[in-house]
Structure formats: C-alpha cells, structure tokens
Amino acid sequence: DVKVTQSSRYLVKRTGEKVFLECVQDMDHENMFWYRQDPGLGLRLIYFSYDVKMKEKGDIPEGYSVSREKKERFSLILESASTNQTSMYLCASQGGGQTVKAFFGQGTRLTVV
Amino acid sequence: AQKITQTQPGMFVQEKEAVTLDCTYDTSDQSYGLFWYKQPSSGEMIFLIYQGSYDEQNATEGRYSLNFQKARKSANLVISASQLGDSAMYFCAMRETMDSNYQLIWGAGTKLIIKP
C-alpha cells in the first residue's frame, strides 16, 4: 500500500533552534508538498517540489526552506524556529495527472517554546 | 477572495442520520477537479471522493456522495447513515487545470461530530 512517512509525530523545540522535518514516500511520485495546518485556516502550502532538486514557493514560504536531494525524500527546514511556527505540518506526495489524489503523511505537531 | 469556502465550522449530527457538508468554490477555469478529504483526530488526511468538472454524474464512493451543482459552484459532500467513526474534520479542495503543478486549494474545514 501507498506510504508517506513523516519522521516525527510530535516535536518540541526552542525558539531559535534549527528544525528539520523529514518526509519519505515510497510511490516514486514526482510531486511532494509541505503544508501547514492551523485551526480555521485549512491547509496552507509552504513549499512544493516537482522533481529532485527542484522547489517552488507556496503561499507562506517565509521562515522556511526545503531540500529534495532524492526523489523519495522532501525535507522542511525551519532555519530559526519561532513561536508563531507552532503548528501541525503535513507532507503530501502525488503522481502526475489531473485526477490523481494526494497521499498524506500522519502529520507532525510542532511546538516552539 | 476565498477560492474554497466551507461555511460550517462545526456540525453535530445524530448517529445514523445523513449529513451534508457544504463547499462552494470559485474558479474561472472550465476544467477543474474537486476533492474531499477526511482528517480524524490521528491527523492523517484520508481521501474520500473526487469530482471532475466535466463529469456528468455525481461521484459516489460507498456511503459518500458528492452533490455537484456546477452552475452554483457547489460541491457538497453527503454522508449517508452516519457512524461514530465519521467524527472528524472534513476538507474540501480544488485543483485548477491552469496549475501545472497540480496544487490543491483548500477550504478551512468542517468539524463533524456524530452523537450516539
């Protein structure tokens, strides 16, 4: 079965720390996405990647960067974590085609103190 | 302007009743796709159903059906015979054809609680 795995379910980090959120998919998908989910705001796209080493900014890229060195892995980096980055982070993976659905990881709930 | 609007932040429904979750969308594309996802408390997003803008029939998947009214730009999710396990957040999303990277545009979600 299809699998998208995020490295951590829960994380607590201190303000100013560099934080890495890892996402791995086993479906050989070209497209991978990082979303942030906050109550009442739905999912907001941070960054996405459509190929190895390719990345595009989403709606809220400020304070984040990403890395995609291998097709199966897409990392989200918080260069200097701040309390307003406390949120649920969701990774998604998707193949080509208009109708193909996205597969999601289980989410990482990050708290920055 | 909001591209996907879910007007019900929360809903309480009695078990075994049918539920309709509202979703309206805004696009100038002729070809687009509409999705519904379920997110239980565990956090994982679960795909439920898809409707293409050119599909003539409303999509159905088991107890889920999509009431697609193109002229009104509405894509409501209907859950028949609700179960306690249906309690979750539900998100409506849209993919516009012009978006070559297949990004989804998301609504704010509806929290559905099924009462025993």
Residues B48, B113 contacting (CB under 8 angstroms)? no
Q: Measured between CB atoms, does B4 come within 8 Å of chain A? A: yes
Question: pLDDT tens for residues A64-73?
Answer: 999 999 999 9
Q: What whole-number distance in Å separates Cα of residue A61 and Cα of residue B69?
A: 34
Cα dihedral angle (B56, B59, B65, B69), rounded to 10 degrees?
-30
Res B24: pLDDT: 96
Res A98: pLDDT: 62
Amino acid letter, A61:
P
Q: What whole-number distance in Å separates Cα of residue B38 and Cα of residue B29?
A: 26
DSSP SS3 for A85: helix
Please check the confidence at residue B87 and state whether its pLDDT lies above 60: yes
Q: How far is CA A108 from the centre of its chain?
A: 9
Question: pLDDT tens for residues A7-59?
Answer: 999 999 999 999 999 999 999 988 899 999 998 888 899 998 988 998 989 88
> What percentage of residues in chain B have a pLDDT greater than 90?
72
In chain A, which residues have their Cβ closer than 8 Å to the Cβ of B37?
Answer: 104
Closest chain A C-alpha to B44 CA, distance in angstroms? 4
Question: DSSP string of A14-70?
Answer: -TT--EEEEEEESS--SEEEEEEEETTTEEEEEEEEEETTEEEE-S--TTEEEEEEE
Please check the confidence at residue B99 and state whether its pLDDT lies above 80: no
Please check the confidence at residue B57 and state whether its pLDDT lies above 90: yes
Residues B116, B15 contacting (CB under 8 angstroms)? yes
Q: What whole-number distance in Å separates Cα of residue A53 and Cα of residue A72?
A: 12
Whether B44 and A41 lie within 8 Å, measured CB to CB = no
> HSE-up of A45 (CA within 13 Å, CB side)?
20
DSSP class of residue A101 equals P
**In chain B, which among 16-35 make CB contacts under 8 A with chain A?**
31, 33, 35
